[in-house]
Amino acid sequence: MSRISIHSIESAPEASRPYLEKAKAKNGFVPNLLGVLAHAPSAIETYLSVTEINSRSSFSLTEREVVQLTAATNHGCSFCVAGHTAVAYKQGKLPEELVEALRHQTPLPDARLEALAAFTRAIIRSKGAVSSAELDAFKAAGYGEQQVLEVILGVALATLCNFSNVLADTELNPELAAYRWQPRA
């Protein structure tokens, strides 16, 4: 049972309902994360707006999911790991070897994506104060200053949903049950 109640379209504040309706139309169900965020119309609006903005970054869907799954596993957000695993498999058609490495926080099979995951972890760990060596390694993998800031954008997006879900102990939707994940003890 979630620590914060999960709104349905009908129980949500009026200002949150259009966001929940749009999510249901897109997904076929309302992710419980959105039902939690619906308590604060500005929070659900921010999450969905920044999600859309993040989708326009220079990163591919694969790269965006590397950032999101890396952040979710580092923040211990079971709900977001499950949700992004579903996106990785269903929308991104990402290989199982890559997705499972992200879920288990093991080295990725692609050196460039591993550099992205390592830089994402460094941003989270250092709160942005990465070392020159970490920044140089990211750039040596073929990323530039735009992508440096887009990692921060992705981490900011992840932080809103990861922290909200961890705080709420958001119950996983049945539609995501096949992708269940638990942080290491």
Return the CATH number at 15: 1.20.5.810
Residues 80 and 166 in one domain: yes
pLDDT band at 29 (very low <50, low <70, confident <90, very high): very high
Chain center to CA of 76: 11
Residues 158 and 101 in one domain: yes
pLDDT (tens digit per residue) in 38-70: 999 999 999 999 999 999 999 999 999 999 999
pLDDT (tens digit per residue) in 75-92: 999 999 999 999 999 999
In a domain, 134, yes or no: yes
Angle between helices 111-126 and 61-75 (to 10 degrees): 40
Residues 71 and 146 in one domain: yes
- Measured distance CA(88)–CA(69) in Å, rounded: 9
Contact 13, 35 (CB under 8 A): no
The structure's pTM equals 0.95
Instruction: List the domain range (segments joined by +) for residue 19.
Output: 8-56
- Measured distance CA(116)–CA(143) in Å, rounded: 8
The structural domain count of the chain equals 2
Residues 52 and 135 in one domain: no
In a domain, 138, yes or no: yes
pLDDT band at 184 (very low <50, low <70, confident <90, very high): confident
The whole-number average pLDDT for the span 114-127 is 98
Residues 40 and 65 in one domain: no
Return the CATH number at 127: 1.20.1290.10
Residues 82 and 171 in one domain: yes
Q: Which amino acid is at 71?
A: A
In a domain, 1, yes or no: no
- Measured distance CA(162)–CA(167) in Å, rounded: 8
Residues 65 and 49 in one domain: no
Which residues touch 171 (CB under 8 Å, ≥6 apart)?
1, 2, 6, 32
